[in-house]
Amino acid sequence: MKDDYITFTENVHSKTGINLSLYKETQMKRRLTSLRDKRGFRTFFHYYKAAEENEGLLEELMNKITINVSEFYRNRQRFDVLEKKVIPHLLEKRGRLRIWSAACSTGEEPYTLAMILSRLAPSDRLEIIGTDIDPQALAHAREGLYHERSLKEVSVEGKQAHFTKEGSFYRIDDDIRKRVKFKEHNLLADEFPSRCDLIVCRNVMIYFTDEAKQELYRNLNRALVDDGILFVGSTEQIFSPEHYNFKVFDTFFYQKISLTPLML
Ligand SMILES: C[S@@+](CC[C@H](N)C(=O)[O-])C[C@H]1O[C@@H](n2cnc3c(N)ncnc32)[C@H](O)[C@@H]1O
């Protein structure tokens, strides 16, 4: 008889498009077992049957799988490097920037990019795309309403410039909200955007198996223009970046190695 968890992952795959066999198993299984137990089911078979018929349970399960935690300026120092070094470098070379925030969760990351870029370039020189596998997270992102805990790294001036306070929540202002286009996208299954100057893909690769990660690096590399930059999370350093046609630009920033030398 097939393993209870394996059958469950196959059912989840056909129901939601999320292939759990590409996520680190021990970690994911532990998370899902604890949720299943909390809901009073002794097997994944019974838990899945119940989730199929109960939208609330399915939604909770999706939330557990996708792990939507995010915040503005997550790892602030890295965003300072982005603002002072990476973006000026890219702007110097190109008239327009196409930026992709991949696995952007509830939108804090692409909005952080939009706030930074609003100081550095006019909006007609920018395109910012935010994608995630989770439609609920994207709905939250489009709404643009955040609890103050996700703004702990935003300066007082930043809050004043880009948010309107609503009780203990902050609403992102329209001029920033309109700079980001959100779209559903599965990093392990869908076609990637092309010709990106900057890809921000942070705090999602840690959940993937090594094989899935390697394939992802290759696809991210292909999605960049020559010399384009990939920005990863602070626990997601790429070992042997040259293996994937990247070189280190700064800590946690990788630049695509251009294969065709520029004609001067
Ligand atoms: C911890 S959040 C990271 C959010 C943001 N990038 C940050 O660093 O704050 C991880 C996000 O990855 C998304 N995710 C998980 N698997 C994915 C996949 N296969 N394709 C795209 N997004 C995925 C989840 O839905 C979740 O919103």
pLDDT grade for 262, boundaries at 50, 70 and 90: low
Of the candidates 129, 120, 116, 108, the one whose C-alpha atom is nearest the C-alpha of residue 195 is 129
Note the pLDDT tens digit of each residue in 105-153: 999 999 999 999 999 999 999 999 999 999 999 999 999 999 998 999 9
Of the candidates 251, 248, 193, 198, the one whose C-alpha atom is nearest the C-alpha of residue 90 is 198
The best mutation among 204, 205, 219, 234 to test binding of ligand 1, ranked by most ligand atoms within 8 Å of the C-beta, falls on 204
Note the pLDDT tens digit of each residue in 177-213: 999 999 999 999 999 999 999 999 999 999 999 999 9
Atom of ligand 1 nearest to the CA of 69: 1
DSSP string across 87-120:
HHHHHHH-SSEEEEEES-TTTHHHHHHHHHHHHH
Question: How many other C-beta atoms can be found within 10 angstroms of the C-beta atom of residue 190?
Answer: 14
Residue type, 66: T
Q: Report residues whose beta carbon is within 6 angstroms of any ligand 1 atom.
A: 66-70, 74, 103-105, 109, 132-134, 137, 185-188, 202-204, 233
Residue type, 100: W
pTM recorded for the entire structure: 0.93
Query: Is the pLDDT assigned to residue 32 strictly greater than 90?
Result: yes
Note the pLDDT tens digit of each residue in 48-66: 999 999 999 998 999 899 8
How distant, in Å, are the alpha carbons of 8, 33, 47, 145, 251 from that of 135?
A: 21, 24, 22, 16, 31
* Helix, strand, or coil (residue 205): helix
